[in-house]
Amino acid sequence: MELKKDSNSVSIDMLLIVHSEKRRAARGTHSDLQADPGALLQRRGGFQGVGNGIRKWQKIEANDLHGHLAEKQHPQQTQVITAYDNQGTQLTVEVHPQDAVPQLLKKFSLAKRLQGDKNGNTRPRQPGGKDAHAYPWDRSSLKSMPLDLRQFEDLDTYASQVTVKSGLDELVSDLVQEAHSDLERVRAIWIWICHHIEYDVIAAQEKDRQAFKVTDILQTQKTNCDGYAGLFEKMCRIAGVQCMTVPGYSKGFGYQIGQSFSGEFDHAWNAVYLEGRWHLVDSTWGSGLVDKTTSKFTFLYNEFYFLTHPALFIEDHFPDNKNWQLLKPPQSLRQFENGMYHKSEFYNKGMLSAHPETSIIRTVNGRATVTIESCTPTLFMFMLNGKQEHGLLSLRENGMKLEVYPPTMGTHNLQIFAKGSSDIYSSVLEYTLKCNFVDFGARLPADLHQPVGPSWFSEQMGILKPSHPDPIIHTSDGRCSISFGVDEGISILASLHGDDGLITEEMQRRYIFQLHREKRTELKVQLPHAGKFALKIFVKKRQEPGNYIFVFNYLLCCTNTKVNWPMFPESFGNWGQDNELLEPLSGVLPANRNIPFKLKLHGIAKALVKGQDTWPLTLNREGYWEGSCSTAGCQEVYVMVLENANHNFYSYILKYKVNAQ
């Protein structure tokens, strides 16, 4: 090989390439060089919110070493002589005009590496060991390099406000005015694209080739994923930063859990060279989302896809060349297909891991269990087949636990959502459940909402030190007493819900009697019959307007078929928060009986019980109002109090019903 070099160019008069046919035959995947140089690869672009492709990549004869598409050869200008020895070694000699660039050199992208681009930028080496990150993720960072996003605040604001004046060169020049490093130049370009370029849904569906031309992108400010990646690469090159476009498969819109990938690639993204190392970005998915129902694009900036850690990027991006995974060890296509897919919001909202680590779960004895670990306390919810039913979700200090009981055999869809610091729940995980057995004994009340059991959230809402920290309470006689501390100024409301329809909305609070003792609230619960019930707990600040807020619920379980407790007496607004009822607790009194009463009432002057006649209550030494009344001849009995001794107006505080004779 003879090299001649002047100040402007490098020419190669003869190129000899020696490699083993046996080795090439073993590399028979489309992500590497093909054994047949005439093989044609077709690829198309895709988007996180659109399932079908955008356009087919240009037909080519092979990939270059960087995964880029080599130009078509013109055999009439060159002669290629190939010979083999008996060991299977191939010798290829290319003879070409002196001033022409060798075609084999183009194919292996050495020409561009030696010549550089129009700005004099030379291509770095293929990604190698120093670019690779360990797999699986080590939880160190969401990014592939140390970043403090606060350092970009001013630059992000500036870049998002830059407008197109003429062409791409001037746009890049304006963007990098406030950038002082390659990292900041890349950041400015990323921010501008993510905030100005809209995903072209129509072009994606029609596979419009015009959608990825730079002039059209700048004019319409719309494109597909090919256009996003191509524009990002061109802008980085103009800014003097090395950048590559990487085609491959993606788990975007239309992705089905467990599906296999083959044929045309459906997406494209970028690798950018910063601080001596390759990094990954996806400006398509960083810009926004396409709504599944309306097929309309919405700008929704996603920081996750800027310099994403490769061990996380591989969850939804599989490049044509395994070297662009930037992982050690690299993952196979089968691993990509079968691997758990954590959506970007999973990591954006501070989650670390989820178990099981497979996206398809087979129930055991009719139950499937999912746990999530998070960095900070997080609110979760779930939906099974689109409904918030058939599951017990309990919050933990750093995550959650979910037990799901599918109501039928077959395949079910389980979605898990997280709230994070925003007021919006976002989908973070999705599983497919395979159920071959239904545990009918595990059926749950439809009104059992999420979460179940007390947690850091109930403590944050003012409910402290619960007597029952577990979410499920078993009672053998159909009664239970639950207590907890309550922050000052907090009011508690509770209601009981079952599935049999016997508990009407009016009766939901009548099977619960609320007492207050020494800064603790006690809920006495009596079940109307055996079964499973949801005990819902609500809170409200007394001095603030508005409705009570749901905090959590308990699951109450009773298997005793003899249980048949009546409701508690009905209480009225004047029943004080600190009042206490000792007897009678049943809201239904027997007829023609003398019934003893014992209550602790605060801040009153007199108390009495009114039925057919009136019976006064007296205050004993322990501070309880005591007395009795006859239920003869009456259908209802009331407890009444006089708050001011100087007035004659009595208020109703409790109401009992009397059984018919």
pLDDT tens by residue, 434-488? 999 999 989 999 999 999 999 999 999 999 999 999 999 999 999 999 999 999 8
pLDDT at residue number 508: 84
- In this predicted structure, the answer to whether residue 223 has a pLDDT above a threshold of 80 is yes
pLDDT in tens, 227-248: 999 999 999 999 999 999 999 9
Structure letter (DSSP) for residue 135:
S
By DSSP bridging, strand 368-374 and strand 399-404 are antiparallel
Mean pLDDT over 256-282 rounds to 94
Long-range CB contact pairs, 32-39, < 8 A, 24+: 32/63, 32/321, 32/322, 33/62, 33/63, 33/65, 34/62, 34/63, 37/61, 37/62, 37/107
Q: Which of 96, 156, 225, 497 is catalytic?
A: 225
Closest among 520, 517, 521, 556 to 536, alpha carbons compared: 556
Distance CA 140, CA 384 (A): 33
Q: How confident is residue 57, by pLDDT bands cut at 50, 70 and 90?
A: very low
pLDDT in tens, 327-383: 999 999 999 999 899 999 999 999 999 999 999 999 999 999 999 999 999 999 999
Is 470 designated active site?
A: no
In the chain, the domains with their CATH numbers are: 131-334 (3.10.620.30), 346-442 (2.60.40.10), 456-558 (2.60.40.10), 570-658 (2.60.40.10)
Cβ(612)–Cβ(632) under 8 Å? Answer: yes
pLDDT at residue number 29: 33
Provide the token pair at 81: 């002589």
pLDDT at residue number 504: 73
pLDDT at residue number 303: 97
Provide the token pair at 240: 């003097």
Cβ(417)–Cβ(425) under 8 Å? Answer: yes
pLDDT in tens, 147-178: 999 999 999 999 999 999 989 999 999 999 99
pLDDT at residue number 92: 52
Over pLDDT 90: what percentage of the chain? 64
Mean pLDDT over 92-111 rounds to 44
Distance CA 533, CA 555 (A): 6
Q: Which of 182, 200, 216, 282 is catalytic?
A: 282
Least confident range of 48-52, 177-181, 248-252, 400-404: 48-52
- In this predicted structure, the answer to whether residue 113 has a pLDDT above a threshold of 70 is no
- In this predicted structure, the answer to whether residue 502 has a pLDDT above a threshold of 70 is no
Mean pLDDT over 488-506 rounds to 82
Structure letter (DSSP) for residue 286:
H
3-state secondary structure 291-333: CCCCCCEEECCCHHHEEECHHHHCCCEEECCHHHHCEECCCCH
By DSSP bridging, strand 479-486 and strand 463-464 are antiparallel
pLDDT in tens, 544-564: 888 999 999 999 999 999 999
Q: How confident is residue 91, by pLDDT bands cut at 50, 70 and 90?
A: low
Per mean pLDDT, which of 3-12, 64-73, 414-423 is the most reliable? 414-423
Distance of CA 71 to the CA centre of its chain: 42
Q: Which of 96, 196, 267, 516 is catalytic?
A: 267
15 vs 147, which has greater pLDDT?
Answer: 147
pLDDT in tens, 404-436: 999 999 999 999 999 977 788 999 999 999 999
pLDDT at residue number 507: 79
Q: How confident is residue 53, by pLDDT bands cut at 50, 70 and 90?
A: very low
Is 236 designated active site?
A: no
- In this predicted structure, the answer to whether residue 254 has a pLDDT above a threshold of 90 is no
- In this predicted structure, the answer to whether residue 114 has a pLDDT above a threshold of 60 is no
- In this predicted structure, the answer to whether residue 86 has a pLDDT above a threshold of 90 is no
Mean pLDDT over 566-574 rounds to 88
Mean pLDDT over 627-647 rounds to 91
Distance CA 562, CA 140 (A): 57
Tally of CA atoms within 13 A in the half-sphere of 144 that contains its CB:
31
pTM of structure:
0.77
Distance CA 57, CA 30 (A): 14
pLDDT in tens, 164-217: 998 999 999 999 999 999 999 999 999 999 999 999 988 777 766 555 789 889
pLDDT at residue number 482: 97
Q: Report residue 284: phi and psi, to 5°.
A: -65, -55
Is 225 designated active site?
A: yes
Average pLDDT, the chain: 83
Distance CA 464, CA 190 (A): 47
Provide the token pair at 443: 């059926």
pLDDT at residue number 516: 81
